[in-house]
A and B are shown apart, each in its own frame.
Chain A
Amino acid sequence: MSQPFRLNKEGLINRNKKISFTFNGKKLFGYEGDTIASALIANGIHLVGRSFKYHRPRGFFGAGVEEPNAKLQVEFNGHSEPNVNATEMELVEGLSATSQNCWPSVNFDIGAINNFLKMFFPAGFYYKTFMWPKSFWYKIYEPFIRKAAGLGVASIEKDKERYEHKFEYCDLLVTGSGPSGLASAYAAAKNGAKVILAEDKPRFGGTLLTDDVSIDNLSGKDWAEKIISELKSMPNVTVKNRSQVFGYYDHNMLVMFERVSDHLEKKSKFTPRQRLWYIRAKETILSTGSIERPIVFGNNDTPGIFLSAAAKEYMKVYGVLVGKKPLIFTNNDSAYETALEFKKNNVEPIILDTREEHSSELIDEAKSKGIDIRFSHGVIVANGYKKVKSAKIGKLNKDKNSFEKIETVDCDCICVSGFWTPSVHLASQSGNKLKYEEKIDAFIPDKKKQHETSVGAANGSFTLEESLKHGFENGSNLSAKITETKTEISIPNVNEKKYGAHDKFWCMPLPKNENPKRFVDFQNDVSVSDIEIALREGYRSIEHVKRYTTLGMATDQGRTSNLNGLQLVSNIENKIVPEVGHTTFRPPFTPITIGTIVGREVGMEYMPTRKTPMHEWHEKNNAVFVDAGAWKRPRYYKQGNETLFEASKREAKNVRENVGICDVTTLGKIDIKGPDAAEFLNRVYTNAWMKLPVGKARYGLMLREDGIVMDDGTTTRISENHYHMTTTTAQAANVLSHLEYYLQIVWPELNVNVVSTTEQWAGAAIAGPKSRDMLSKLYPDLDVSNDALPFMGYKEAEFFGVPSRIFRISFSGELAYEINVKSDHGMFMWEKMMEVGKEFGNQPYGTEALSTLRIEMGHVAGPELDGRTIPSDVSLNGLVSKKKDFIGKNSLGREAFNVESRQKIVGLIPIDRKSSIPEGSHIVQDQNAKLPNPKLGHVSSSCWSVENNNPFSLAIMKDGKNMIGKKFFAVSPLKNKSIEVEVISSHYVDPEGKRVRS
């Protein structure tokens, strides 16, 4: 097992630790510190995938986030992940990587036929080809596109990993640990600022790891190490590697994605896989560096073609050669460093420089080392299908559009450099409009909208000296404003090579009669001719060209393609690049996992679970629960093989015949205190509240200002200035905010305080004809007769030694009481009730029986108070005072609320007395009428009436009261049912309300 392209000594990998992995089933090994890419290249493997549209063979192009091609399906640590960037993913023991977008294999891919049928795949081909006929879309086009396109396969297994969220605050966030980032962080740390330094890669130092420079007589790498270790020792500094700041949001909140343990073979059960950081930074230093720009030429996507800086990084960081016969194709000096690095490792490169012969520090050094440099030269087309074998190169004439001489040279890799593009994504996301800097032919940040400062290459300064100086200055000044401390730091002495000017040349012309593909965007397969077509067809705005050609729309966000695309458009349109403008940068900068976004908020942790104090008892007694907001409420208590229908019927019947108890703890409870409490209630509720005596409860209705019913419930006067309000379970939070709004903003002169006490009280309703008998056993010393405790009465008494409140209120329509005790006593109360209630035939009942009981009584609840009904719609106009003012009163006079045909609540029974009417059914005159069938109303609540032993529903129906006695159809297309119904009164049982008063 030798690695033919691994250098003997170079690199920062740990040669003492071998890591085995597989690629497309083949067993290979690399070293600790390798990426999948560096390990594959060391093994001489370059063909890793097929392109998106044409299925062309693709290899590696970059060495980090800029990689457009090498996206793999990777299985590691027990999960499978698609679209993993091979140039970023670190090798872990047992990792298995496979190529995507190829079938049956990466070596022989049937889809590659697209490459030869390329007349079918021009720019905008999705828009053109798949438009007509429309009916073809679902059955033919869409499945075809799905099969042909697409990258990896998402796992359908449940993600067992742990993901975390973290919220952090700091004075200065530094995004990137290259020279300018290190300098900024160091200066700010010395001023005592709270600093977070984030580095996307596993190693700190950025270009210091690969550039041939020295700082204070240390190599770049050693200087970076020294600064990092000093920063790590400072308590006010957090240093994070494998952490990418990918989003810049409002008010200086940045979001960072930390890969905590993907690179670890073994980890504890509680180690998160990845962590999302929400960082609120007072100031941000954007030291995100720059990305090398390619030059476009024929078949420039052939495996073996690299960015020149990537080739250098593979040598310096990973000790790996991308080839042994390199061609360096450049328009600037930086690629000479790559050539010199090859030379140092005894590999002979040829440099093709598009510039005319001239001299600079680097060119002179390369010359003195005997490197073959050919000026005014460039690569026309790369030869070789699955790997570069040779290249047709040309000597350019002075016009740079034709050739003086063309020849073919052998090579096994081409390292291309078209100068540098600052990474301005975070600045742009922060709202910074960016400006075009002609000196570097790229966009750099302009005026800041938030607290961000770009330094170093991200700001367009490509010399080390300048980067360090700006880093130290900005780090120091920005932090000094916050900490009010300024520590003097001497700027270190720098030794670096000076670059000459670059050539404004990014697209190689083609000789006549030659037409190889020249790719601008590799990941989305967008070529020069696609952009030409888009412009020929009339697209002008760069945003339109982008969408039509899909240029820059892949997951790499056009990091290596946007500027070349703009340059092409500007050349063809004869405009300068800034006039063409740039497209928008959006987070995330690189793809992040869904698991990280979700964090711990999955399953049980998705939202809090609210349980009543009696929950355990319900559980033990076979309660089937239903969610009511965050609450768990017993829906029914299952006996034997009972169904929901059977159980709820049994429970409801028992309430009508004997007595039942129901856990009503979840009802919202609000304590209202103060000398103006009565006046406040009088304004909040539609009915009169000034004369409610102490020790009495009253049913109340509250509206929104637009006259729509907001909520209902009972409120009890506990003492002179103390009231206890109940709300529905669903509206509890809204009602509290509503009351606070009026007390704080509208009527601050009212001396009233409100506070939620929902959680302080456990509640149980006792309902049924035998409830008074049961109550007298629960309170042997208390007079609970109808005279002493009448309907809507209230008493405080000891319940077997614990304080309790007794309300004589009823939701079921039966003689009923509600007992409240402190939450801690809830279970005690419930168990006592079960014990004492035995002799009266008491049974617990759940929400389903509760609904049945209230529906057949015609009591409205959430389905009727649905945000569309006013009091008269639901027969509650008796509760609307004509004498006093209240919230929403002025709206009740609106014309539409008072027309004769206005919707009203009614009851419905099926003609056959058997068929249940689905909730949500529409009421229509003629079930066979042509669509759209005029809708006369809808069914809001349905039950099986236990009193009459047939189905019964409540409905909201146009002109409802005048429809009583008439027949209609309730149709539910959803349930595929149509039931003939008769309209009756909504009060199906005990319309006079005798029972509650009995």
Chain B
Amino acid sequence: MLYIKCPYCGLRAQKEFSYGGDATVKRPNINEEVSSEDWDNFVYMRKSPRGKHIELWQHIAGCRQWIKVQRDTATHEIFQTAKVTEEIR
């Protein structure tokens, strides 16, 4: 079971979180034209990297905040966590 540092609550067990997918995907702006290709990329196309991956998790049984987690998909090592308004480099 992973041990995830919620930027609001501190280190908590994975049980308290729910996974939310790739955090680097950006939704096309609302009320703006978007090409079919860009839209399909947003809805469907995801990379599945082996190694470092920035992903979203929601602290569902805690503060209910969505957070960013940089995790190694092979070893599960977590390098960094951040609020969604913060950048992970």
Residues of chain B with a CB closer than 8 A to A449's CB? 75
User: With an 8 A cutoff between CB atoms, is A532 at the interface?
Assistant: no
In the complex, are the beta carbons of A890 and B34 less than 8 A apart? Answer: yes
Cβ < 8 Å to B, chain A residues 161-214: 167
Known: A250-B76, A890-B39. A741 touches B20 (CB 8 A): yes
Cβ < 8 Å to A, chain B residues 55-89: 56, 58, 60, 64-66, 75-76, 78, 84-85
Q: Which residue of B lies closest to A886 (CB)?
A: B30
Instruction: Determine how close the nearest CB of chain A comes to the CB of B84; give it in whole angstroms.
Output: 5
Q: 1/0 per residue B20-32: CB within 8 Å of A?
A: 1000000110110
Q: Which residue of B lies closest to A740 (CB)?
A: B64
Cβ < 8 Å to B, chain A residues 689-722: 705-706
Known: A280-B3, A747-B30. A251 touches B76 (CB 8 A): yes
In the complex, are the beta carbons of B31 and A885 less than 8 A apart? Answer: yes
The residue in B34, B58, B65 that gathers the most chain A C-beta atoms within 10 A of its C-beta is B58
User: With an 8 A cutoff between CB atoms, is A746 at the interface?
Assistant: yes
Q: Which residue of B lies closest to A891 (CB)?
A: B43
Partner of A253, one of B3, B18, B36, B39: B3
Instruction: Determine how close the nearest CB of chain A comes to the CB of B8; give it in whole angstroms.
Output: 11
Bound Cα distance A278, B15 (Å): 12
In the complex, are the beta carbons of A737 and B60 less than 8 A apart? Answer: yes
Instruction: Determine how close the nearest CB of chain A comes to the CB of B26; give it in whole angstroms.
Output: 9
Known: A431-B75, A745-B84. A737 touches B58 (CB 8 A): yes
In the complex, are the beta carbons of A744 and B65 less than 8 A apart? Answer: yes
Residues of chain B with a CB closer than 8 A to A741's CB? 20, 58, 66
User: With an 8 A cutoff between CB atoms, is A249 at the interface?
Assistant: yes
In the complex, are the beta carbons of B85 and A748 less than 8 A apart? Answer: yes
Instruction: Determine how close the nearest CB of chain A comes to the CB of B81; give it in whole angstroms.
Output: 13
Instruction: Determine how close the nearest CB of chain A comes to the CB of B33; give it in whole angstroms.
Output: 10
Bound Cα distance A983, B75 (Å): 55
Bound Cα distance A746, B25 (Å): 10
Q: 1/0 per residue A9-33: CB within 8 Å of B?
A: 0000000000000000000000000
Residues of chain A with a CB closer than 8 A to B66's CB? 740-741, 744-745
Known: A251-B2, A253-B1, A885-B30. A705 touches B42 (CB 8 A): yes
Instruction: Determine how close the nearest CB of chain B comes to the CB of A216; give it in whole angstroms.
Output: 40
User: With an 8 A cutoff between CB atoms, is A683 at the interface?
Assistant: yes
Bound Cα distance A376, B17 (Å): 63
Q: Which residue of B lies closest to A893 (CB)?
A: B36
In the complex, are the beta carbons of A737 and B42 less than 8 A apart? Answer: no
In the complex, are the beta carbons of B1 and A251 less than 8 A apart? Answer: yes
Instruction: Determine how close the nearest CB of chain B comes to the CB of A889; give it in whole angstroms.
Output: 9
Q: Which residue of B lies closest to A747 (CB)?
A: B30
Residues of chain A with a CB closer than 8 A to B75's CB? 431, 449
Residues of chain B with a CB closer than 8 A to A893's CB? 36
Residues of chain A with a CB closer than 8 A to B3's CB? 250-253, 280
Partner of B1, one of A250, A747, A890: A250
The residue in A250, A278, A431 that gathers the most chain B C-beta atoms within 10 A of its C-beta is A250
Residues of chain B with a CB closer than 8 A to A745's CB? 56, 66, 84
Known: A683-B30, A746-B27. A891 touches B39 (CB 8 A): yes
Residues of chain A with a CB closer than 8 A to B18's CB? 737
The residue in A706, A741, A745, A885 that gathers the most chain B C-beta atoms within 10 A of its C-beta is A745
Bound Cα distance A278, B56 (Å): 25
Q: 1/0 per residue A654-685: CB within 8 Å of B?
A: 00000000000000000000000000000100
Q: Which residue of B lies closest to A704 (CB)?
A: B43
Residues of chain A with a CB closer than 8 A to B28's CB? 890
Bound Cα distance A278, B1 (Å): 10
Q: 1/0 per residue A279-291: CB within 8 Å of B?
A: 0100000000000
Residues of chain B with a CB closer than 8 A to A252's CB? 3
Q: 1/0 per residue A458-501: CB within 8 Å of B?
A: 00000000000000000000000000000000000000000000
In the complex, are the beta carbons of B43 and A705 less than 8 A apart? Answer: yes
Bound Cα distance A253, B15 (Å): 13
Instruction: Determine how close the nearest CB of chain A comes to the CB of B56; give it in whole angstroms.
Output: 7
In the complex, are the beta carbons of B43 and A740 less than 8 A apart? Answer: no
Cβ < 8 Å to B, chain A residues 216-272: 249-253
Residues of chain B with a CB closer than 8 A to A891's CB? 39, 43
Besides A250-B1, A740-B58, A745-B56, 5 new A-B residue pairs in contact (Cβ under 8 A), listed by A number? A705-B42, A737-B18, A740-B66, A891-B39, A891-B43
Chain B interface residues (CB < 8 Å from chain A): 1-3, 13, 18, 20, 27-28, 30-31, 34, 36, 39, 42-44, 56, 58, 60, 64-66, 75-76, 78, 84-85
Closest 6 CB pairs of A and B: A251-B3, A890-B39, A250-B76, A885-B31, A744-B66, A885-B30
